[in-house]
Amino acid sequence: MTSTLFAPLQLPNGSILPNRLAKAAMEENMADEGQLPGSAILRLYRTWAQGGAGLIITGNVMVDGRALTGPGGIVLESGTPLVPFKQWADVAKEQGAQVWMQINHPGRQILAAMGGTAWAPSAVPLEMGKHSKLFVQPKAMDEAEIREIIERFANTAEAAERAGFNGVEIHAAHGYLISQFLSPLANRRTDQWGGSLVNRARLLLEVVRAVRARVQGGFCVAVKLNSADFQRGGFSEDDAKQVILWLNDLSVDLVELSGGSYESPAMQGRSVDGRTLAREAYFLEFARELAAVARMPLMTTGGIRRKAVAEQVLASGVAVAGMATALAIAPDLPAKWRSGDGPSADSPQVDWKDQVMAAVARMALIKRRLRVLGAGRISTGRHSAAISLFIDQLRTRRLTRRYRRWHQAREASGMVN
């Protein structure tokens, strides 16, 4: 009998996911010159397309070239050439999966070395102990800048549809800009964009409305939302429940639940507020409760690597099981599960005393694995965390120099929009 994992799912807008397994977003930092998708991204997504997931969500694509989560980030704005994005969408859809572009603005989570524009709801810097200085001092946004960001999300979504993507996922989790507005720790405004939850959620809801108004009805609009920030006094499970109730009325096709931020990387299985997360499917307990009030399908991502756990996710009332790191390690895991095999994909572990550096090293290991796949290799060899971090730091410096040249050239030519 066919596993429920491989049953199709009809979304609220009528489009259909061929199965319930999703490749969740990972930050690849693999852009070509001009911050565009190139051959490495195409090879990587062809590998995932052949791997059997019913939904493929891209790594985050920036709505503003002045503000990137990393120097190898891909940017899609008004006026960006669409041919590379059309090639990307075509490759990812080759085997019948839907492909959605995750669209994002980092807000204050920008490396100081990159320069750029660190807009935030309030001028509250990241608190990461001795590593705080690695990030910029943010600027509190004024009303015009908030309106500009809403328009940018809508512009990028419209461009993604023209490029052939099946949908977009608005990133409102992991401490990025919209998540910062949702958090009472990062958002200390006293105007209509801060204070009460209805005000802190206003940016997300306005972005969803603007995006939905600019795309066709069959184009999917999803939201990635923290089930909680996992910081004392931050965005809570009760807040997430209320936001989902508001999203119920906005023609949202799916909500992906995750958790955490740079300050509390719960998406890597660790929190700073003392709560213990499950060893797999970190956020399933929260997702189960939120599924009871959500009218749209829910997806949860975070630590899923075994078929039995993915099936447990669906049995809990969650419609889609998202996998990220597992599909970097074993990109064909869904196809193997479908054929009756039951392998798992072990996540890289880095047990260093400095928890921030351990999280960065783990990300470096995953990014190294993505580059291996993007080079057309399927090596399963294990890499040293320390060496991978060193390589990633060298690469980041090189990409930062390239990004700064690109950004400066755009400013000099008046192309910054």
Q: Transcribe 149-216 into DSSP letters.
A: HHHHHHHHHHHHHHHT-SEEEEEE-TTSHHHHHH-TTT----STTSSSHHHHTHHHHHHHHHHHHHS-
Kindly report the pTM of this predicted structure: 0.92
Which residue reads 């008046």 in tokens? 414
Q: Burial level of 79, CB count in 10 A (0-12/13-18/19+)?
A: exposed
With CA atoms as reference, report the closest residue to 27 among 226, 187, 173: 173
CATH topology of domain 4-343: TIM Barrel (3.20.20)
Dihedral over alpha carbons 392, 397, 399, 403 (to 10 degrees): 150
The whole-angstrom separation of Cα 407 and Cα 398 is: 14
CB 286 within 8 A of CB 228: yes
Q: Where are the domains of the chain?
A: 4-343
Return per-residue pLDDT of the chain as tens, 417 residues: 345 999 999 999 999 999 999 999 999 999 999 999 999 999 999 999 999 999 999 999 999 999 999 999 999 999 999 999 999 999 999 999 999 999 999 999 999 999 877 999 999 998 878 888 889 999 999 999 999 999 999 999 999 999 999 999 999 998 999 999 999 999 999 999 999 999 999 999 999 999 999 999 999 999 999 887 666 777 888 999 999 999 999 999 999 998 777 776 544 444 443 444 445 556 788 888 899 999 999 999 877 888 988 999 999 999 999 999 899 999 999 999 999 877 766 766 777 777 777 778 788 888 888 999 998 876 656 788 888 888 888 999 999 999 999 999 999 987 665
